[in-house]
A and B are shown apart, each in its own frame.
Chain A
């Protein structure tokens, strides 16, 4: 069975995606919009299921690496070379799980687009998007990789601007594709440097030739790759596209982008820093760690400032990428010090958080999507009380919120715990420079966890709890059955990945120790038991929690009388409660914003209207405007942009419009060349 999946699963998957894309376009062309949507999503689901079966089989039963042969395309002789190692299999699994859930979720949401947008196009790019993500992971040469990478970027760009009649979306897509192409340019550069010394685009050749590269060029290649990949992963300060693009896309696409697309960058970082360059200097690990620390803490702080639910989630992606980078950076550092066991364990932390974040972020985006769908707005200040109208969705969001806050017994806790362990281990055993950076990483992780919890209390509270604050949320409706299925799947997995951590961690450990270039680990220890005398058992925690809850119930049952319960109004101090008296999302996070004003630079404007003009004793209205400037845009991007614009203006001046000048150019060119030649 497993062999069957390994043999045919991948091709079936690509076949399904190709068929889905084609059929979608064809049906769309014949005005069968609805059908094209459903068919494309169904085939995307089918393809993802096939990919999942393939990857899980490969993960569990694939003894050796799987190779696929090559054939020429265009001017390229060896374009299609694929290689599936267990790292790739793992990422395919992550991609396909989220793709299944997102596709099932999305298959019902087309009514709002009917007549306005071309659904056939959506299905095409949707399938292309998923297929190219899978391809990114298994490509075994730089050409194919870049091809798939670009395909991923372009397809997702079209998905972002799918609602192209909305001005904001077009702008968001623009920013996204710009940053994305910038990143590609850097990756280009990285591969070109590698090519220069290996003479090949093939990853297998690159892998063995990196050792003989001059140190300077190794570091140049790594730096270029890091910038290129960081821009895709959304590492601060290259994250600015993320909070723009993710909200603009339809929700199940946001789930895919945030849940898995940005992870492909993590995948490639592992390839570069651990697989290609096993001898990378430890400072690369520390750099990644530092980036992770900055991204996680700033990401969560920016998330706190948001009241657009999807932007909030997008900033949490920045934060979680930061956490993943903490693990990855630690892993690279350990590996470069020859601490293979610790390195593998830290990589497990990173991988575990990768899959966890994919699960709960996709879950959150999907449930946020059904909220947005039900209310028609992304503004949390207009929500409120949705838990009564959308009980299922709210439960799903709650699962996601608890998981992403890293609270037991869900999966988020496991990976945060693993990351902490790696960082503490590094603090304990590494040289002093590394110790300090690890300490910073640990500190940021400690604060990030708490702030994330605060942020999701705000998000969940403002969205689902208490009374409705705007008329939009008063008429919300529960998500459709398909949507529920998609969300439920992910929520279940969030729980399972928490409970089953004892099973999953050893599998990931195999990945962590799979890189042949590192000293082989003969016996793979359980990472949950691995470092020092630490101990951790999720089942035990769950038993404890369940016992605690049962005991509580028992206590109440035994001791409490049978008092009557009266349903009444919230205590209102004698005035009539209005929705305006509830705390707002902005108000909730105001204190944290003010505490971190040094980092966030909020602008606060207070305007007060008085009842009596003379004495100013009684205020009539008081308004506080809390503004948050986009620091990265203002301080980094705008100046760079202005610089290019200045250059462009200067270049434009070449075209003076005067014929004599043009002839002068030719004259001068001629003279200059003559002088240069015969100097």
Chain B
């Protein structure tokens, strides 16, 4: 089922959005990209559910829509406005080099990882989603901002869920509920931390730059 064209398209867009996340500078854009990515995930899940005839996937799609497309982005956009953190803190390496690294990651997924498991499952979305996973990891490594880290984790979660779905894992409603609840709580806690950062450092996004004191010595 992971070979459904729409699912592959969604996987491709998740990957592409990950790439874009690595490039954009504005926090609001980042959140919007995440919104789109979640939407792609929801679409993929829905289409799968129709092909499969599985109601579980449909619930999952609905929850995704509710939590990841609507709630979380809205919440973050409100925070950004509230704390006036429109611009993201800088990245460690510049855009061309980042793109080069992302290319390497993509090549790694396609040329190294995919051949290994292609004997088990063949689908064009698999390497794309692995690349997306590594891409979000790279995003978190490369970007200094607090929001980037949060969005990175959320989008990593998107990629993992879609990968699992395209590998053919059945979803139960209870499980999806639990995961969605997890994400919701996670977002709340992350927001709590952002609030604390605002109080302690007066700025949320550049706060991680100040939080480098816990070292040995």
Let me know if chains A and B touch directly in the complex, using CB atoms closer than 8 Å: yes
Write the residues of chain A forming the contact surface with B, with a CB cutoff of 8 angstroms: 652-653, 655-660, 663-664, 666-667, 670-671, 674-675, 678
**Contacts A652-B216, A657-B213, A678-B112 supplied; 7 other A-B pairs, CB < 8 Å:** A652-B215, A657-B214, A659-B211, A663-B137, A666-B137, A671-B108, A678-B113
- Stretch in contact with the other chain, from B27-35, B55-63, B139-147: B139-147
Find out whether the CB atom of A663 lies under 8 angstroms from the CB atom of B140: yes
Find out whether the CB atom of A660 lies under 8 angstroms from the CB atom of B215: no
**B208 CB contacts on chain A under 8 angstroms:** 659
Find out whether the CB atom of B112 lies under 8 angstroms from the CB atom of A660: no
Write the residues of chain B forming the contact surface with A, with a CB cutoff of 8 angstroms: 92, 108, 112-113, 116, 134, 137-138, 140-144, 149, 208, 211-217
Find out whether the CB atom of B216 lies under 8 angstroms from the CB atom of A655: yes
Partner of B215, one of A656, A666, A671, A674: A656
Main secondary structure of the interface of A (DSSP, over half): helix
**B113 CB contacts on chain A under 8 angstroms:** 674, 678
**B138 CB contacts on chain A under 8 angstroms:** 667
**A675 CB contacts on chain B under 8 angstroms:** 112
Alpha-carbon distance A658/B212, docked complex (angstroms): 5
Find out whether the CB atom of B212 lies under 8 angstroms from the CB atom of A667: no
- Name the residue in A663, A667, A674 with the highest tally of chain B Cβ atoms < 10 Å from its Cβ: A663
CB distance from A503 to the nearest CB of B (A): 64
**B112 CB contacts on chain A under 8 angstroms:** 674-675, 678
Alpha-carbon distance A664/B214, docked complex (angstroms): 17
Alpha-carbon distance A652/B113, docked complex (angstroms): 34
Q: Smallest CB-CB separation from B140: which chain A residue?
A: A663
Find out whether the CB atom of A660 lies under 8 angstroms from the CB atom of B141: yes
- Name the residue in B108, B138, B141, B149 with the highest tally of chain A Cβ atoms < 10 Å from its Cβ: B141
CB distance from B192 to the nearest CB of A (A): 17
Main secondary structure of the interface of B (DSSP, over half): helix
Find out whether the CB atom of B140 lies under 8 angstroms from the CB atom of A652: no
Q: Smallest CB-CB separation from B149: which chain A residue?
A: A659
Find out whether the CB atom of A656 lies under 8 angstroms from the CB atom of B137: no
Alpha-carbon distance A151/B26, docked complex (angstroms): 65
Known A671-B108, A678-B112, A678-B116; contact A664-B141, beta-carbon cutoff 8 A: yes
Q: Smallest CB-CB separation from B108: which chain A residue?
A: A671
**B216 CB contacts on chain A under 8 angstroms:** 652-653, 655
Q: Smallest CB-CB separation from B152: which chain A residue?
A: A663
CB distance from B178 to the nearest CB of A (A): 24
Find out whether the CB atom of A655 lies under 8 angstroms from the CB atom of B141: no
CB distance from B40 to the nearest CB of A (A): 24
**B134 CB contacts on chain A under 8 angstroms:** 667, 671
**B108 CB contacts on chain A under 8 angstroms:** 671
**A658 CB contacts on chain B under 8 angstroms:** 212
CB distance from B28 to the nearest CB of A (A): 22
Partner of B212, one of A656, A666, A671, A678: A656
Partner of A663, one of B116, B141, B217: B141
Q: Smallest CB-CB separation from B92: which chain A residue?
A: A660
**A671 CB contacts on chain B under 8 angstroms:** 108, 134
Alpha-carbon distance A216/B108, docked complex (angstroms): 46
Alpha-carbon distance A126/B131, docked complex (angstroms): 66
Alpha-carbon distance A403/B134, docked complex (angstroms): 78
Find out whether the CB atom of A667 lies under 8 angstroms from the CB atom of B137: yes
A-B contacts, 25 listed (Cβ < 8 Å): A652-B216, A652-B217, A653-B216, A655-B214, A655-B215, A655-B216, A657-B211, A657-B212, A657-B213, A657-B215, A659-B149, A660-B92, A660-B140, A660-B142, A660-B143, A663-B137, A663-B140, A663-B141, A666-B137, A667-B137, A667-B141, A671-B134, A674-B113, A675-B112, A678-B113
Alpha-carbon distance A602/B122, docked complex (angstroms): 79
Alpha-carbon distance A664/B93, docked complex (angstroms): 13
Alpha-carbon distance A655/B212, docked complex (angstroms): 10
Q: Smallest CB-CB separation from A653: which chain B residue?
A: B216
**A674 CB contacts on chain B under 8 angstroms:** 112-113
Alpha-carbon distance A5/B182, docked complex (angstroms): 72
**A653 CB contacts on chain B under 8 angstroms:** 216
Alpha-carbon distance A116/B141, docked complex (angstroms): 57
Alpha-carbon distance A657/B217, docked complex (angstroms): 11
Q: Smallest CB-CB separation from A677: which chain B residue?
A: B116
Alpha-carbon distance A30/B149, docked complex (angstroms): 59
**B143 CB contacts on chain A under 8 angstroms:** 660
Alpha-carbon distance A666/B136, docked complex (angstroms): 13
Q: Smallest CB-CB separation from A658: which chain B residue?
A: B212
**A666 CB contacts on chain B under 8 angstroms:** 137
Alpha-carbon distance A671/B216, docked complex (angstroms): 27
**A670 CB contacts on chain B under 8 angstroms:** 137
Q: Smallest CB-CB separation from B109: which chain A residue?
A: A674
Alpha-carbon distance A678/B216, docked complex (angstroms): 36
Q: Smallest CB-CB separation from B215: which chain A residue?
A: A657
Q: Smallest CB-CB separation from A667: which chain B residue?
A: B137
- Name the residue in A653, A655, A659, A664 with the highest tally of chain B Cβ atoms < 10 Å from its Cβ: A659
Alpha-carbon distance A580/B61, docked complex (angstroms): 99
Alpha-carbon distance A671/B144, docked complex (angstroms): 22
CB distance from B137 to the nearest CB of A (A): 5
CB distance from A187 to the nearest CB of B (A): 32
Alpha-carbon distance A655/B213, docked complex (angstroms): 10
CB distance from A202 to the nearest CB of B (A): 44
Question: Which 9 pairs, one residue from A and one from B, show the smallest C-beta to C-beta distance?
Answer: A652-B216, A657-B212, A657-B215, A664-B141, A678-B116, A663-B141, A655-B216, A667-B137, A663-B140
**A652 CB contacts on chain B under 8 angstroms:** 215-217
Q: Smallest CB-CB separation from A679: which chain B residue?
A: B112
**A655 CB contacts on chain B under 8 angstroms:** 214-216
CB distance from B99 to the nearest CB of A (A): 17
Alpha-carbon distance A428/B214, docked complex (angstroms): 69
Q: Smallest CB-CB separation from A654: which chain B residue?
A: B216
**B142 CB contacts on chain A under 8 angstroms:** 660
Alpha-carbon distance A663/B152, docked complex (angstroms): 11
Alpha-carbon distance A657/B134, docked complex (angstroms): 23
Alpha-carbon distance A655/B137, docked complex (angstroms): 19
- Name the residue in B116, B142, B144, B216 with the highest tally of chain A Cβ atoms < 10 Å from its Cβ: B216
**A667 CB contacts on chain B under 8 angstroms:** 134, 137-138, 141
CB distance from A137 to the nearest CB of B (A): 44
Alpha-carbon distance A472/B54, docked complex (angstroms): 97
**A659 CB contacts on chain B under 8 angstroms:** 149, 208, 211-212
CB distance from B80 to the nearest CB of A (A): 20
Alpha-carbon distance A663/B148, docked complex (angstroms): 13
Q: Smallest CB-CB separation from A668: which chain B residue?
A: B141
CB distance from B117 to the nearest CB of A (A): 9
**A663 CB contacts on chain B under 8 angstroms:** 137, 140-141
**B144 CB contacts on chain A under 8 angstroms:** 660
Alpha-carbon distance A666/B156, docked complex (angstroms): 14
CB distance from A374 to the nearest CB of B (A): 49
**B141 CB contacts on chain A under 8 angstroms:** 660, 663-664, 667
Alpha-carbon distance A299/B215, docked complex (angstroms): 46
**A657 CB contacts on chain B under 8 angstroms:** 211-215
Alpha-carbon distance A162/B142, docked complex (angstroms): 55
CB distance from A124 to the nearest CB of B (A): 37
CB distance from B86 to the nearest CB of A (A): 21
Alpha-carbon distance A667/B216, docked complex (angstroms): 22
Alpha-carbon distance A19/B208, docked complex (angstroms): 60
CB distance from A636 to the nearest CB of B (A): 28
Alpha-carbon distance A653/B92, docked complex (angstroms): 19
Alpha-carbon distance A3/B134, docked complex (angstroms): 78
